[in-house]
Amino acid sequence: MSSSTAKKLRPQSRHPDEYAHTLSLAETGQPVDRDPHSYERWLITKLLRMSGSPPIAFRLWNDDVVTPDTGYPKYTVSVKDPKALFSLVTNPNLAFGDLYSAGRLEVDNDLPALMADLYRSIHRAREDWPKWLEALWRNHPPRSTSLEDARDNIHHHYDLGNNFYRLWLDRAEMQYTCAYYERPDLTLEQAQLAKLEHVCRKLRLRPGQTVVEAGCGWGGLARYMARHHGVRVMAYNISREQIVYARAEARRQGLEDRIEYIEDDYRNISGQFDAFVSIGMLEHVGKDHYPQLAELIQRCLKPHGLALLHSIGRNRPMLMNAWIEKRIFPGAYPPSIGEFLSICESGHFSVLDVENLRLHYAQTLTHWLERFEQHRVDISAMYDERFTRAWRLYLAGSIAAFDVGSLQLFQVLFTHADNHQLPQSRCDIYQSPAAPEDY
Amino acid sequence: MSSSTAKKLRPQSRHPDEYAHTLSLAETGQPVDRDPHSYERWLITKLLRMSGSPPIAFRLWNDDVVTPDTGYPKYTVSVKDPKALFSLVTNPNLAFGDLYSAGRLEVDNDLPALMADLYRSIHRAREDWPKWLEALWRNHPPRSTSLEDARDNIHHHYDLGNNFYRLWLDRAEMQYTCAYYERPDLTLEQAQLAKLEHVCRKLRLRPGQTVVEAGCGWGGLARYMARHHGVRVMAYNISREQIVYARAEARRQGLEDRIEYIEDDYRNISGQFDAFVSIGMLEHVGKDHYPQLAELIQRCLKPHGLALLHSIGRNRPMLMNAWIEKRIFPGAYPPSIGEFLSICESGHFSVLDVENLRLHYAQTLTHWLERFEQHRVDISAMYDERFTRAWRLYLAGSIAAFDVGSLQLFQVLFTHADNHQLPQSRCDIYQSPAAPEDY
């Protein structure tokens, strides 16, 4: 409850100074009136080849075009100045995003599709990379997620302003996590409500039970659980803006006697509960803190309680893209499924159910990006063009990452190792559609 | 197809010499006409205390009874001679089974319940064991599961005679693996057929597809898939007795044009298939061979194929009980869920679905033990009393292990990392009951 330790926050919807600051690395290029040198064309050829010859042509600042070795390019990437070219070749993971945000790199066509083709191509090529290239183009371990640093990390992303997120998240419960398209034709709102219902069913909630939620976002799951499943919820979050919204919304819906929103770190959860749930927080916990999280769940889950963790993950251990980790999600690390389940192995837990919703996240992000684009003028007015371009790339790149399978979405249900009151099967989860008929 | 490499097998249902041989360690005790020494009573007291004071009294050969420190005993274990007592104290993991098999240790009451209470008690006590006790009472790494040794390991257990297994396995498809009790009141036959159907649904089989099965037992799954889902199956097994049965049964059912039973090691699988399935073989593969298995599945699964591994597992890495590994399942090692999924992490795979059927295996084993007891006279006649007692203990101990959660049963569904043709959700698996209405 130590809200006093929270950092002073800027007023909602003002220009995010910290954000602009982090982009300063991508210094603005100057207009260029010279032709490219031959070594610059050679560098682009190398860049394409090292990236596995993706179907991308590069247009240089004098309109010269360099095409890949193989086949016909499907996309054209324009590089506006020689410095942009140099940083792209030496540090593409970080530079691509910074240059795109700064408008020094342009893409002529479908951005998610280009990113997907690029990821696929690099994924294949990487296996043959020489050591020096691996070292040059490497990503870095995520920054600290200690109690103090976690606040900065979360503040950086989640306190950008509720008005911003409201523009493109679902209008049902402001869910900033993967939706559940049990049918492919669901709307974003239906799919987000289906996700909430799906999670409640996996937890086998019964009226009167108690639930603790770690990292509750704008509080939508807590309200859904209280409203539709009659449980009492303690919901933790260190994002001040989200907590303020969550409390107001619970009051508006007359649920304030059943939900307590607590502005505090998940590590300070106390008490015992019938269910532990965390949707989209594990990405920010950091591998080093998994044993601590396991111990916490061990302590606060009743003997017959069920725990559910929902998180972005990987098929195998891999560092986060440098640009995403630096500019978008400081401290983020999506665990491999093995690292994820080490939480269960390090505690005395038994894994009951793992579900992978990877393509559901690609669809969720596609819906988000559509709405984001509809509001791009408003968003540029709220922040600036650089911010809008950075977020467009982040959303498009994420679609691509889930599309090609470089990211996964795991829901893991587990319980104390000696719990005997287990669900007989998963039949009960599927007795009726999870999504409302319309929204 | 190298059936020529298979060992010469003894005729079906004769006394299993190898088996009797492995029990020779537990030499027959002589009748004892002396009272226990005080140090022998002290040893029993120590044994009980080191085992966490389970609710078990020990009756010694002169009818003296030693009770645990705490509470009232629920069971009495009779120790018939001083040598039995000594080997129980020095090497309980191996000796308990050997002494019980030899009749030098008797149990007065519900054997599965006693074993469960004993496991729970030891599990708690183990955390405080001094190093010397951990070393004294340790289990050992499983023996080799190389191509050649695997044949001996499998021969030891699965070639005991089809007539033996027929006495107590289900009459539907001779399934010697965990059944699926989607409702708790299913018969063994219904639950085994439900398991087969459940596996087929998870694999999303469609008529005309091809399936490869690694370790096919008596061939029941292959026949079920061919009969009910119209697929073609190549099914591998190195147990000669099982293959002979499987082929005969496929002919009897008119399925021989859709199933090829191949007497060979899974490592020799070739070709490409729409589905890879293995039910209850991974326990015998050995951790060292997981990367090889991953590579094999990588190679033989079509781009949009689905793979399912069904295996006994653990919540965390742990060695097999010494007696089970030595006398019952040579070479067996049930992996922790993390070790299990290392197969998916080491290949380019994506985990789609993990389900834990732990209590279903306790129920399956309870059904097996009931039928086993009904036929104990026949079984003793086929083999001998020692064999019957060993198998009773193995079945009862396994019920207990699944009951207390020292063993788990995982079904893992996975696919190539870049497969886009994924099931939309798991709804389709649960559209109708998997079990037939009656059997």
Tens digit of each residue's pLDDT (9 = 90 or more) over B261-276: 999 999 999 999 999 9
Question: Which residues on B lie below 8 Å from A344 (Cβ)?
Answer: 315, 337
Name chain B contacts of A349, Cβ cutoff 8 Å: 315
Of A12-21, A189-198, A273-282, B29-38, give the lowest mean pLDDT range: A12-21
| Domain regions of chain A by residue span | 17-136, 147-430
- Cβ A315–B351 below 8 Å, yes or no? yes
Considering only the beta carbons, identify the residue of A317, A356, A426 that sits closest to B355.
A426
Cβ-defined contact of A404 to B418 (cutoff 8 Å): yes
Nearest chain A residue to B314 by CA distance is A350
Confidence of residue A16 (pLDDT cuts 50, 70, 90): very low
Helix axes B92-101, B385-404, angle to 10 degrees: 140
Of A4-13, A132-141, A230-239, A265-274, minimum mean pLDDT range: A4-13
pLDDT value at residue B139: 85
Give me the mean pLDDT over the A162-184 stretch: 95
Residue range B212-216: mean pLDDT, rounded: 97
Closest CA to A85 of A48, A112, A55, A120: A48
pLDDT grade for B20, boundaries at 50, 70 and 90: very low
Query: For residue B5, is pLDDT > 60?
Result: no
**Tokens 């665990």, located at residue:** A335
pLDDT category of residue B30 using cuts at 50, 70 and 90: low
- Residue in B closest to A409 by C-alpha: B352
- For residue B29, what pLDDT band results from cuts at 50, 70 and 90? low
Q: Average pLDDT for residues A18-42, to the nearest whole number?
A: 66
Averaged over B72-92, what is the pLDDT?
A: 94
Rounded average pLDDT over B180-192? 97
* Low-confidence winner among A2-11, B270-279, B378-387, B393-402 (lowest mean pLDDT): A2-11
Computed over every residue of chain A, the mean pLDDT equals 90
Residue A193 pLDDT greater than 70, yes or no? yes
Looking at chain A, the whole-number percentage of residues with pLDDT higher than 70 is: 92
pLDDT surpassing 80 at residue A5: no
Tell me the nearest-neighbour CA distance from A409 into chain B, angstroms.
Answer: 10
Chain B nearest-CA distance from A353, in A, is 5
Residues of A in Cβ contact (< 8 Å) with B358: 350, 422
The ipTM of this complex is 0.91
Residue whose C-alpha is closest to residue A177's, from A280, A307, A329? A280
| pLDDT surpassing 80 at residue A9 | no
A249 versus A140: the higher-pLDDT residue is: A249
- The strand pair at A301-313 and A408-416 is best described as antiparallel
Query: How many angstroms away from the CA of A46 is the closest CA of chain B?
Result: 26
Mutate to test the interface with A, among B340, B354, B402, B427 (most CBs of A within 10 A): B354
> What integer pLDDT is reported at residue B369 of this predicted model?
98
| Closest Cβ opposite residue B345 in set A182, A337, A344 | A337
> Which of A316, A351, A425 comes nearest B182 by C-beta?
A425
Name which of A315, A406, A413 to mutate to probe chain B: the one with the most chain B Cβ atoms within 10 A of its Cβ. Answer: A315
Given a cut of 80, whether residue B73 has pLDDT beyond it is yes
Contacts of A348 in chain B (CB under 8 A): 315
Burial of A254 (0-12, 13-18, 19+ CB in 10 A): exposed
Phi-psi category of residue A287: left, alpha or beta, with phi > 0 → left and psi -120 to 50 → alpha: alpha
**Among A64-78, B110-124, B154-168, which stretch is predicted with the lowest mean pLDDT?**
B154-168
Mean pLDDT, all residues of chain B: 90
What is the structure's pLDDT at A157?
Answer: 73
pLDDT of B105-127, one tens digit each? 999 989 999 999 999 999 999 98
Q: Which residue has the tokens 């959700």?
A: B425
Superfamily in which the A147-430 domain is placed by CATH? Vaccinia Virus protein VP39 (3.40.50.150)
- A338 and B349 within 8 Å at the Cβ level: the answer is no
Alpha helices in A301-357 (DSSP H): 322-323, 337-346
As a whole-number percent, the residues of chain B with pLDDT over 70 amount to: 93
Asked whether residue A64 carries a pLDDT value surpassing 50, the answer given is yes
pLDDT at B69: 80
Chain A residue at shortest CA distance from B414: A356
Check CB contact under 8 Å for B354 and A354: yes
Whole-number pLDDT of residue A393:
97
Q: What is the structure's pLDDT at A29?
A: 55
Smallest Cα distance from A56 to chain B, Å? 21
Per-residue pLDDT of B162-175, as tens digits, reads: 899 999 999 999 99
* Cβ-based neighbours of B364, under 8 Å, separated by 6 or more: B178, B179, B181, B188, B191, B192
Least Cα separation, residue A180 to chain B (angstroms):
9
Q: Which pLDDT value is given to residue B100?
A: 97
Buried b / exposed e over A410-433, threshold 16 CB at 10 Å, is bbbbbbbbbbeebbebbeebbeee
Average pLDDT over residues B241-250: 95
Q: What kind of architecture, by CATH, is found in domain A17-136?
A: 2-Layer Sandwich (3.30)
Tokens of B43: 């040893």
Cβ neighbors of B291 (< 8 A, separation 6 or more) are B343, B346
Cβ B341–A344 below 8 Å, yes or no? Answer: no
Is A282 within 8 Å of A314 (Cβ atoms)?
Answer: no
Predicted TM-score (pTM) of the model is 0.92
Q: If you measure CA to CA, which chain B residue comes closest to A344? A: B315
Report the pLDDT value the prediction gives residue A329, as an integer from 0 to 100.
84
User: Distances from the Cα of B257 to the Cαs of A402, B61, B230, B264, B269, in angstroms?
Assistant: 41, 62, 12, 19, 19
**What is the model's pLDDT at position A30?**
65
For CA atoms A254, A258, A262, A267, give the dihedral sign. Answer: negative
Chain A CB contacts of B408 below 8 Å? 350-351
Which among B120, B408, B417 has CB closest to A315? B417
| pLDDT at residue A18, as a whole number | 37
Of A405, A420, A422, the CB nearest to B417: A405
Residue among B419, B424, B426 minimizing CB distance to A355: B426
- Select the residue from B350, B410, B412 to test the A interface by mutation, using most A Cβ atoms within 10 A: B350
Model confidence band, residue B434 (pLDDT cutoffs 50, 70, 90)? very high
Q: Kindly list the residues of chain A whose beta carbon comes within 8 Å of any beta carbon in chain B.
A: 120, 180-184, 315-317, 336-338, 341-342, 344-346, 348-356, 358-359, 403-405, 408, 410, 417-420, 422, 424-427, 429-431
Can you list the alpha helix ranges (DSSP code H) found in A203-283? 220-229, 240-252
The residues, any chain, with a CB within 8 Å of residue B12's CB and separated by 6 or more, are B161, B162, B163, B241
What's the pLDDT score for residue A161? 83
Asked if residue B12 has pLDDT above 90, the reply is: no
